[in-house]
Amino acid sequence: MKKPLAFLFITAIILCLNGCGSGIAVKESSKASAETKTEEVEAAQATAKAATTSTAATKAVRATPSVPELVLKYGEVNPEGNIDTKVAEKFAEYVYELSDGRIKVDIFPGAVLGDEKTSLNSLKTGNGLLDLYRINTNVLTGYGFKKLNLFGLPYIFKSREGMWRVLDNKELGRAFLNEGQEIGANMVGLFYTDEGARNIFTTEPIHGLADLKNKRIRVPESVLMMDTISALGAQPIPMRYEDLYNALANGDVEGAENPMPAYLSNRFYEVAPYYLLSGHVFSPGIVMMSERKWNTLSKEDQNLLREAGKMASEWNKTEIVSVEEKLKKELVDKGVTVIPLTQNEEEEARKDEEIVRISFTPGLERWLYKIIDIQK
């Protein structure tokens, strides 16, 4: 019996050793498998991360293309640094952001693309010279506009706050933006701008409105502005804005009228250092777009431009207040004689201008009354 027992013992040991060896092999195999799976997971995660990065990069490229899909040309008569030019730059910035770089607006200040008449004719004909242009509403009389002319009437607005109350009103200001399309002027109004009240400046000393009598005062090529200056007793001289500085320097005219930012940015104080705070007109600017170009845009992009314009207007509202405060001080520092208007002079001027308001509002009385009523 001993021999079989010994045989069984040896056999048991061998089986045990084989079993232990198999366990070690399984553990090593499992470890190898786990390591393989870990490497596979890490590789998969790296691939996913690379794919995500690639997708984000692709989206970024699409969002901000190296070359914009659309470039619009925006004309401005004032030079760089002027509040109207800055508003144009803000508008361009907002358009670029809202379109994720698809649309770019190039600003051409200083009338480099043409004077007011040339620029408006470009919009009307859609000849492609420019796509957008800012114009003061009091210059639109020669293009068939009527409702927008109301904004250029002398002393129609009591204050800046009153003006913006009207411009932000859906029935008036917002609705008037469409007049260029309604009358066949082939212009689309996008948004309004504010560069302040228009005041009169002269080459020779003056002390008040009475001293303007018979003086040759340059005005834009606008019947409305000619009548406005005539009502104050001066002699209006219609002239291109680009010719004004030399005309003042040479004595061809004895004065002109402009908001404070334009007066300073165009350096008119060098040749006409007497600035009368007449505030005879507080008309807003309006940014127009060629209707021909407008019609090539998708509805989405049309809404985008309007939204960017609204944002630019809001920026303008706040900025112009601080700008004027700085400019008033700058006027004095540059040796300009600032002449305030007395209350009696303003009341007299309003009476004198009544004939102008009457002559330009036949058929528009209800709109005129609304403008006045909104400001109460």
134-174 pLDDT, tens digit per residue, is 999 988 887 889 999 999 999 999 999 999 999 999 999 98
Q: 10-19, 224-233, 276-285 — which is least confidently predicted?
A: 10-19
Note the pLDDT tens digit of each residue in 116-134: 999 999 999 999 999 999 9
Question: Does position 71 have pLDDT exceeding 70, yes or no?
Answer: yes
Structure tokens at 117: 């008449």
How many whole angstroms separate alpha carbon 153 and alpha carbon 353? Answer: 9
pLDDT of residue 61: 37
Task: Report the percentage of the chain scoring pLDDT > 90.
Answer: 78
Please enumerate in sequence order all residues whose Cβ is within 8 A of that of 33, keeping only pairs 6 or more positions apart, or say none: none
Note the pLDDT tens digit of each residue in 80-127: 999 999 999 999 999 999 999 999 999 999 999 999 999 999 999 999
Tell me which CATH homologous superfamily contains domain 70-194+283-335.
Answer: Bacterial extracellular solute-binding protein, family 7 (3.40.190.170)
Note the pLDDT tens digit of each residue in 180-209: 999 999 999 999 999 999 999 999 999 999
Q: How does residue 332 score in pLDDT terms, banded at 50, 70 and 90?
A: very high
Q: What angle do CA 260, 261, 263 make, to 5 degrees?
A: 60
* HEC secondary structure over 145-212: CCCHHHHHCCCCCCCHHHHHHHHCCHHHHHHHCCHHHHCCCCEEEEEEECCCCEEEEECCCCCCHHHH
pLDDT of residue 17: 37
- Per-domain boundaries in the chain: 70-194+283-335
Please give the average per-residue pLDDT across 281-307, as a whole number. 97
pLDDT of residue 36: 45
* HEC secondary structure over the chain: CHHHHHHHHHHHHHHHHHHHHHHHHHHHHHHHHHHHHHHHHHHHHHHHHHHHHHHHHHHHHHHCCCCCCEEEEEECCCCCCCHHHHHHHHHHHHHHHHCCCCEEEEEECCCCCCCHHHHHHHHHHCCCCCCEEEEEHHHHHHHCCCCHHHHHCCCCCCCHHHHHHHHCCHHHHHHHCCHHHHCCCCEEEEEEECCCCEEEEECCCCCCHHHHCCCEEEECCCHHHHHHHHHCCCEEEECCHHHHHHHHHHCCCCEEEEEHHHHHHCCHHHCCCEEEEEEEECCCEEEEEEHHHHCCCCHHHHHHHHHHHHHHHHHHHHHHHHHHHHHHHHHHHCCCEEECCCHHHHHHHHHHCHHHHHHCCCCCHHHHHHHHHHCC
End-to-end Cα distance, the chain: 127
Please enumerate in sequence order all residues whose Cβ is within 8 A of that of 297, keeping only pairs 6 or more positions apart, or say none: 70, 305
pTM: 0.80
How many whole angstroms separate alpha carbon 112 and alpha carbon 120? Answer: 14
Note the pLDDT tens digit of each residue in 340-372: 999 999 999 999 999 999 999 999 999 999 999
Q: How does residue 176 score in pLDDT terms, banded at 50, 70 and 90?
A: very high
pLDDT of residue 66: 72
pLDDT of residue 67: 87
How many of the other CB atoms lie within 10 Å of CB of 155?
A: 21
